[in-house]
Amino acid sequence: MAGQRTQILNGLRGHLAEIGIIAARGARHSRALAEVVHTGNTSIPQEVRVARLPLAIQLDHLDVQIAVADAAIIQLTKNDPVSSQLMSTRMAEKDIDALIAAGVIAATDAPH
């Protein structure tokens, strides 16, 4: 899903660049473009905005789906002893640690 989100952000940036609306690379800048597509702006013709609105809406749906998946992964790692051990060795914020721990376990097929 994260890859799909990146594709949509890049596609939106590319489509708007064709009409002279330029944004720097990066999710933050592309998200600003998506917000402009949602709310409207005099620099974007209405026809272009309407044509690109499905991309912005799809981006919103992916953001929700990713947040739900992240929350489920975090919940799964809370009671997992291997995850707990991995998280205790890191000093970063707990939610990020849970996602990293789940990724490490999945990548290494560590026993639970």
Name the domain count of the chain: 1
CA-closest candidate to residue 33, choices 14, 47, 61: 14
3-class SS string, 11-55:
HHHHHHHCCCCCCCCCHHHHHHHHHHHHHCCCCCCHHHHHHHHHH
* Residue 84 covered by a domain: no
Contact 38, 30 (CB under 8 A): no
* Residue 92 covered by a domain: no
User: In the prediction, which pLDDT does 19 show?
Assistant: 86
Contact 66, 40 (CB under 8 A): no
Structural domain span for residue 29: 2-61
* Residue 56 covered by a domain: yes
User: In the prediction, which pLDDT does 58 show?
Assistant: 92
User: In the prediction, which pLDDT does 90 show?
Assistant: 54
Contact 10, 31 (CB under 8 A): no
Fill in the amino acid letter for 41: N
* Residue 23 covered by a domain: yes
User: In the prediction, which pLDDT does 57 show?
Assistant: 92
* Residue 104 covered by a domain: no
Residues in the chain where the model's pLDDT stays below 50? 91
* Residue 22 covered by a domain: yes
* Residue 29 covered by a domain: yes
User: In the prediction, which pLDDT does 61 show?
Assistant: 92
User: In the prediction, which pLDDT does 49 show?
Assistant: 87
User: In the prediction, which pLDDT does 54 show?
Assistant: 92
d(CA 104, CA 36): 37
User: In the prediction, which pLDDT does 96 show?
Assistant: 52
* Residue 108 covered by a domain: no
pTM over the 0.75 mark: no
